[in-house]
Amino acid sequence: MLNRVSKTIYDALSEGIVLIDSEERIQLINNAAREIFGFMDTGTIDHPEGKLEEGDIVCIATNSLGADDGYLNAEVLRKLGFRGKIEYGHSFVIAGKYLFEDMDPYCIHEHVYSDIQDYSIEFENIFFNVVIDDIDKYIEIGYGEESYRLDYFYAISNMIVVDGKTGKLKFVQSLGYTSRKETPRELLEGNPFRGKGRYYRLRELIGRKISEVFQPNSTMEALGKVAGGEAVDYVKKFDKFNNMPTLCSIKPIDGGKIKGAILIVENLSNIERAMKEKDYVLTQLNKLQKSIGSGSGFVDKFPAIIGRSGKIRQVKEMAGKASGSNSNLLILGESGTGKSLLAREIHENSPRGDFPFISINCSSIPENLLESELFGYEQGAFTGASRKGKKGMFELAHEGTIFLDEIGDMNIYLQAKLLKIIQEKRFFRLGGDREIEVDVRVIAATNISLENAVKEGRFRKDLYYRLNVLSINMPSLREMKDDIELLVEKLLPKACIKAGVDLKNVSHSALSRLKAYSFPGNIRELENILERAVNLTHEEIITSDSLIFENESVETRNVFRDLKYYAKEAEKRVIIEALIFYDYDLKSVMKDLNIKKSSLYNKIKEYDINIVQKNGNCSKNME
């Protein structure tokens, strides 16, 4: 379809060009497009194609667990021996032996929190050196004499695989891995990887359908439609490939024999890189100012507990002390403020962290069952009891921590038994005549005032003093309003992942609405609101309309809303239609709708409408 001269000219262009015919088959893809879509070889690494095999040694390092590693999950990581929690958004290093069975392969993993991390990992005489450098922004994995580096400016993940039998390097990650379906997760799931360097085979793309070659997305869909003769307006639309920001334009081709479409992709990485550098410097400056202002070199040992404002910092400082102590601990706070989360974090940061953390909610288990759940029973202890008898929570928590949630709801009789076990560290199972010794740390939590319960005779004073050796007050979300933005930033991606949708953002108006709300259900309620909004919104941006607060949930809300709501909805729709009709020419819209400029601007802002500037190359919200 194209002669060599025109191909050479296309290869010299800095924009990526993909030309397809009316059957959606690729007729030309230039070098820049091959690079953007990850079909070029960097030429620096040599390895044949292959896939992970039992016994291979894998090392993965990522600066932010999430999209770049293909959303690594606990299930695939178990193949490397990982048993811990997945914390999306955090840096992560894992090295382990790849096994298909859920056995117990030797694995080392770390969550990484500071700016520069340098790890030396050794097992079975295999050494890896991992550097995650957030300042110069790269991840490097060293193996043998060589080190393999990937530069990043936003988020990236690096991975190498060593043949378990020969000790030879089998796979090294290189840019473009998402397009090649070589993210760590996909490889752990058994996907093959392609050869590199002298083993690289130029992938024959000419003549292949775009659906076989590219990941499906809106740009590829539009390309197919235009090639099929549909009139689709696709000019300088923003899209990401391999995490590379681009502007894409599609034009139909109708040149006699040739019919189809051409895709032109401009790589915006340099621009985004400069913007991210600026953001990074500002954030660092901000952090520095804050730490100078607070006069303390505060090190966050509890990053899973989101929040930087004064009260949550106090919580983290107390939690640090509680992790180093073996004393019983009482956590107080309203429902949904993170008491259970804190208890687990304290346990994991304590010397007991490798032993069990057993959590029990004293109010959700019927009173008559709670005793046997806590202390266990011997065979035939009561009607319905298992014949073999059963270990109780205290026994299961031996050497670890037991978390007694909603302790305020425990009845007086069980309070006496609990006091005894705390004092004597020994107890009898129900129906048992053998005393069992346990070494358990007790963390209790409640959202009621135990002092009042003591005064009213509902809670034993001596038990209260025993539990209250250390205490931590969790702030309500109303008391940590300054953290709402940060919470949204961290919790929203989790909600999107849970709902299985692309990552979304919130608009300024939605954020303002969240900041103004009183959150009786605290952070749990915020999580629920975001989850609902993610499910309700099909756009990339969550607007304030998609936020449904708990006290106006779908079940309790009236069947119809206020009439004004519908009037506004209709108004918004008409404005959007007029904007599209007049190609975002605000003057024509004002004239046709007979409204003033200020009124149009106010409404665009109020309804959170995105307007595309007349020069066409960027979309912007008026906020």
Which amino acid would we find at residue 557? R
Pick the closer one to ligand ATP by CB: 184 or 336. 336
User: Which of 333, 392, 475, 493 is in the footprint of ligand ATP by CB under 6 A?
Assistant: 333
CB of 515 to ligand ATP, least distance (A): 16
Q: Say whether residue 527 binds ligand ATP (CB under 6 A).
A: yes
Give dist(CA 421, CA 399) in Å, integer.
14
**Interacting residues of 541 by C-beta distance below 8 A, sequence separation 6+:** 504, 505, 506, 507, 608, 610, 621
Residue nearest to ligand ATP (CB): 338
**CB–CB of 246/36 below 8 Å?**
yes
125 is written with which tokens? 């005489």
CB of 111 to ligand ATP, least distance (A): 15
List the interface residues with ligand ATP, window 281-310 (CB under 6 A): 305-307
* Chain mean position to CA 553: 26
Pick the closer one to ligand ATP by CB: 68 or 405. 405
Pick the closer one to ligand ATP by CB: 37 or 403. 403
- The backbone torsions φ and ψ at residue 33, rounded to the nearest 5 degrees and listed phi first, read -70, -40
Give dist(CA 545, CA 564) in Å, integer.
14
Binding footprint of ligand ATP, residue count (CB under 6 A): 16
Pick the closer one to ligand ATP by CB: 19 or 487. 487
Pick the closer one to ligand ATP by CB: 362 or 436. 362
- The backbone torsions φ and ψ at residue 515, rounded to the nearest 5 degrees and listed phi first, read -65, -25
Which amino acid would we find at residue 2? L
CB of 522 to ligand ATP, least distance (A): 7
User: Which of 26, 407, 450, 523 is in the footprint of ligand ATP by CB under 6 A?
Assistant: 523
Give dist(CA 361, CA 340) in Å, integer.
10
User: Which of 336, 376, 400, 493 is in the footprint of ligand ATP by CB under 6 A?
Assistant: 336
Helix (H), strand (E) counts: the chain: 20, 25
List the interface residues with ligand ATP, window 235-274 (CB under 6 A): none
Q: Say whether residue 173 binds ligand ATP (CB under 6 A).
A: no
**Interface pattern 418-447 for ligand ATP (x via CB under 6 A):** -----------------------------x
152 is written with which tokens? 């990043």
Pick the closer one to ligand ATP by CB: 53 or 348. 348
Q: Say whether residue 405 binds ligand ATP (CB under 6 A).
A: yes
Q: Say whether residue 337 binds ligand ATP (CB under 6 A).
A: yes
3-state SS of the chain: helix, strand, coil percent to 5? 35, 25, 40
User: Which of 236, 481, 508, 524 is in the footprint of ligand ATP by CB under 6 A?
Assistant: 524
Give dist(CA 283, CA 154) in Å, integer.
14
- In a 10 Å sphere around its CB, with 0-12 CB exposed, 13-18 middle and 19+ buried, how is residue 156 labelled? buried
CB of 405 to ligand ATP, least distance (A): 5
CB of 95 to ligand ATP, least distance (A): 28
User: Which of 34, 137, 316, 339 is in the footprint of ligand ATP by CB under 6 A?
Assistant: 339
* Chain mean position to CA 476: 24
Give dist(CA 506, CA 53) in Å, integer.
42
- Point out which residues bind ligand ATP (CB under 6 A): 305-307, 333, 335-341, 405, 447, 523-524, 527
